[in-house]
Amino acid sequence: MNFDLATYYPIFLYLLVIVGFAVSALIAAHCIGPKKRTAVKLMPYESGMDPIGTARQRFDVKFYLIAILFLVFDVELLFLYPWAVVAYRESDRAYALAEGLRPIVFWEMVVFLGTLGVAYVYAWRKGVFQWR
C-alpha cells in the first residue's frame, strides 16, 4: 500500500485555517467585546425567564415519569432504524441479513414492538400521561 502524505496537505491546511479562524474569533471577541458587568448580565439565564425561587426546588414525580417514558420510546427508535436499514438490503451487499435470519429477526422486532405497546398501554391506563 502506497501512503503518500502529500495528498493530505490540502486537508491539513484547511484544518489549520479553520482552527486558526476559530481561535482568532474567540480572542477578538474577548479583546474587543464590551465588558460592562451589570446585575442583569451576572444573573443566571434559564430559557429566557427570570429565575424565581431557589435552585433546590423539588419537582413532581410525574416529571420524572414522563422523562423516563420519553427515553424508553426514544431508545426504541435507536433499535428500529438499524434493523430497517439492514433487514431489507440485498444479500450480496455487506451488512445484509442472511435469508434464513430475516423471518427470525422480523418476529423478534414484532415481539419487541409488542412489548413496547403493552408498556405504553399500561402507562396510559395508570394515568402517567395525565398532568394534574
The yes-or-no verdict on residue 51 having pLDDT over 70 is no
The model scores a pTM over 0.75:
no
Unique residue bearing C-alpha cell 451487499: 93
> Residue 81: its pLDDT value, please?
83
CA 116 to centroid of chain Cα atoms: 20
Residue 91 confidence class, pLDDT cut points 50, 70, 90:
low
> Residue 69: its pLDDT value, please?
81
Q: How far apart are CA 44 and CA 54, in angstroms?
A: 12
> Residue 28: its pLDDT value, please?
96
